[in-house]
Structure 1
Amino acid sequence: MLNTNTPLIPQRADPHIYRHSDGYYYFTASVPSYEGIELRRAKTLEELATAQARLVWRKPDTGAYSELIWAPEIHFHDGRWYIYFAAAPSREIKDNLFQHRMYVVSVAAENPVEADWQFAGQIDSGIDTFCLDATTFEHQGKLYYLWAQKGPGITGNSNLYLAEMASPTAIKGTPVLLTKPELPWEIRGFWVNEGPAVLKGHGKIFISYSASATDENYCMGLLSAAEDADLLNPKSWTKAPAPVFATDASVKMFGPGHNSFTKLADGTDVLVYHARQYTEIEGDPLWNPDRHTFVKTIRWDETGMPVFGKPGQP
């Protein structure tokens, strides 16, 4: 199921796969019901397809984080597991359902799939607007938080922000705006930069992200910086002028995006992403379950840039 248009896991959007030091791959994603956080693990990527899935955390019935649980990501910091996710308040609190904020659950356990996860609070960015799609990464001894948020006074639905973390559950300092939707391929349907993921290699650090509406226009862009650059200086980052990963109708792979990265046992980099395999969506696209998880290997060119290729193909 590597490098093909056969889903690794059907009906799982916003996929995140983390390979831990215990040799297991851990998988989480948005479930079609948006009711909670699902987790599974396996020794190989292929075995994730049939691994037993467990809903490790379920949303409360009401309250600030009781609707539309989106885009969970599992990370391991300082001996504990953390899952970062976005959630909306119940309609009794907000008339507009799309008022997501960012939250985290945590546990200290050898096997997080079987553990009793605990709600650890909201991740406050300091900007009280729609936000989602958080990821974390360590670089040169510092822990960073990277996410999408609607920026005050900025046209569009979401931009990408970066901040250093004071702890795995709190950021410190003032968030830095890294990119906003502005190029033609970033503003089709909706003005969106979201779903960031971090890849390192060949003396550089990269941030992939997704842009435009979540239909066949959805695609991936790329930011890059030198590994020794000041990551909190927006001038350190260069935005690729064109998408690096986009729809390929010839193999019926539409709107690839909201990716993460993992590695094979031999160190080969792997792109994890979702895509649909048709374009005619019936009903509300929000509740369409047919964004599937796919995986493909990445190669590197002679200049040290990642080459994503085409969805569903080697």
Structure 2
Amino acid sequence: MRVLSVVVLLLLTILTSSTGPASAGNTGLRAADPSVIRVGGTYIGVQSTGGGIAVRQAGSVDGLAGAPARQVWSDARGLGEVWAPEIVTDSGRYYIYFTAGRGSAHRMYVISSAAPDSGYGAERLLALPDGKWAIDGTLFTFGGQRWFVWSGWAGDTNVEQNLYIARMSDPVTPVGARYIISQPRESWERVVGNPFINESPEAIKDPDGRLHIVYSANGSWSNQYCLADLRLRAGGDPTHVWDWYKSNGCLFGSHRATMMSGWDPTLYVDGPGHHSFVLLNGDIGTSPPAGPRFPLMFHAVAKGTPYEWGNRHWYSGSFAWWGGINYSRANVPGPTTDHGWSLKFFE
């Protein structure tokens, strides 16, 4: 009987350690829209909280939840809702891009400092081309050019959220026009609408040096929320919409019906979305090679929990490059199929 009890205890230990929300890397931080970078051995995360923006620092991604949140900016001018701050580094300075506003007045703003958690000045409106509703913006450098990518409206009404890109002459100055690179027009990204959305774009370079923009599709208020991929063709122009190829389904989501063939839905969370590739200095030039897994942060809701914004938590996961994948399209200019790297995401 004693041997049997020990065996049962071991089995229970194995089962409880491999199931439930903890297996999905729930950091315990009840928040949305994670943005995390690594500088040396320090992980720096930024979040909207308390009517402003706070920064946390820790020695690991999982340690961020227990680290003190230091307020670095407050909405002193009453701009409105503060959403999705994104921290990057450029030329030795830290920049935090964020959305603030109410209703159709949401626009992108930026603050900067020489230190990650102090010294930020007043917010500056980012004068994006056309001046339309804009959220979830981030800066990156590709091909020797600074770029800004964000989610926005074509006009002044909430019909759908598209992904746009524009050149930047420096971290705070857009130049030239905005260019649309993705619209939520595929059946698997129109399961939930009003509006249909493409949002939360994040740039990364694959092992061949090609640019990817991984983004969230389907409503963030729904457990259909998921991550999908845009891959720039070899030698392509980031401003040319037909040089981008879209994954044929979600790459990270909780519903099999919307997943790309060969990709499985999540086991422990519902509606994973708005992610952050945890890159050295937040620089896509440090994007990982093929082979090992690398850190990822995303928000989601634990399975078995009502899917609502208040139940979102930061989760630590990982990702790896997956080679030899075709993205196909129809009834558009250019080749119908593009072959290259995709991504696998792990809870």
Q: Same fold (TM over 0.5)?
A: yes
* 250 and 73 in structure 1: CA distance in 2 versus 1, 3 angstrom threshold: closer
Task: Spell out the pairing of 1:250-265 with structure 2 (5 A cutoff).
Answer: 251-263=267-279
Q: Does 1:198 align with 2:187?
A: no
**Which AA in structure 2 matches 1:276?**
V
* Structure 1 partner of 2:33: 14
* 182 and 201 in structure 1: CA distance in 2 versus 1, 3 angstrom threshold: same
2:176 maps to which of 173, 180, 190 = 173
CA distance in 2, matches of 1:212, 1:229: 27
Aligned-pair CA distance for 1:270: 2.4
Aligned-pair CA distance for 1:55: 1.2
CA distance in 1, matches of 2:139, 2:234: 16
* Structure 2 partner of 1:269: 294
Aligned-pair CA distance for 1:250: 7.0
CA displacement, residues 153-203 of structure 1 (integer Å, 9 cap, x when unaligned): 998331000111011111111111000111122221330000000121221
* Structure 1 partner of 2:306: 280
Task: Spell out the pairing of 1:274-313 with structure 2 (5 A cutoff).
Answer: 274-277=299-302, 278=304, 280=306, 285=308, 288-303=309-324, 305-309=341-345, 312=347
Q: Does 1:219 align with 2:226?
A: yes
**Which AA in structure 2 matches 1:138?**
T
**Which AA in structure 1 matches 2:45?**
F
CA distance in 1, matches of 2:244, 2:156: 22
Q: Does 1:28 align with 2:41?
A: no
* 263 and 6 in structure 1: CA distance in 2 versus 1, 3 angstrom threshold: same
* Structure 1 partner of 2:166: 163
How large is the RMSD of aligned CA atoms in angstroms?
2.7
TM-score, normalised relative to structure 1: 0.84
Q: Does 1:143 align with 2:146?
A: yes
* Structure 1 partner of 2:246: 239
* 266 and 226 in structure 1: CA distance in 2 versus 1, 3 angstrom threshold: closer
* Structure 2 partner of 1:93: none
Larger Cα Rg: Structure 1 or Structure 2? 2
**Which AA in structure 1 matches 2:80?**
E
2:83 maps to which of 70, 95, 112 = 70
1:58 maps to which of 59, 74, 87 = 74
Structure 1, unmatched stretches of 5+, are: 90-96
Question: Where is the helix percentage greater, Structure 1 or Structure 2?
Answer: 2
* 228 and 26 in structure 1: CA distance in 2 versus 1, 3 angstrom threshold: farther
CA distance in 2, matches of 1:196, 1:25: 21
* 49 and 266 in structure 1: CA distance in 2 versus 1, 3 angstrom threshold: farther
**Which AA in structure 2 matches 1:79?**
G
* Number of equivalent positions: 290
CA distance in 1, matches of 2:29, 2:156: 38
CA displacement, residues 266-309 of structure 1 (integer Å, 9 cap, x when unaligned): 9543222110124635xxx5xx4221111222122232523324
**Which AA in structure 2 matches 1:36?**
G
CA distance in 2, matches of 1:159, 1:73: 19
**Which AA in structure 2 matches 1:17?**
V
CA displacement, residues 232-251 of structure 1 (integer Å, 9 cap, x when unaligned): 22222101121111116873
SS of 1:185 mapped into structure 2: helix
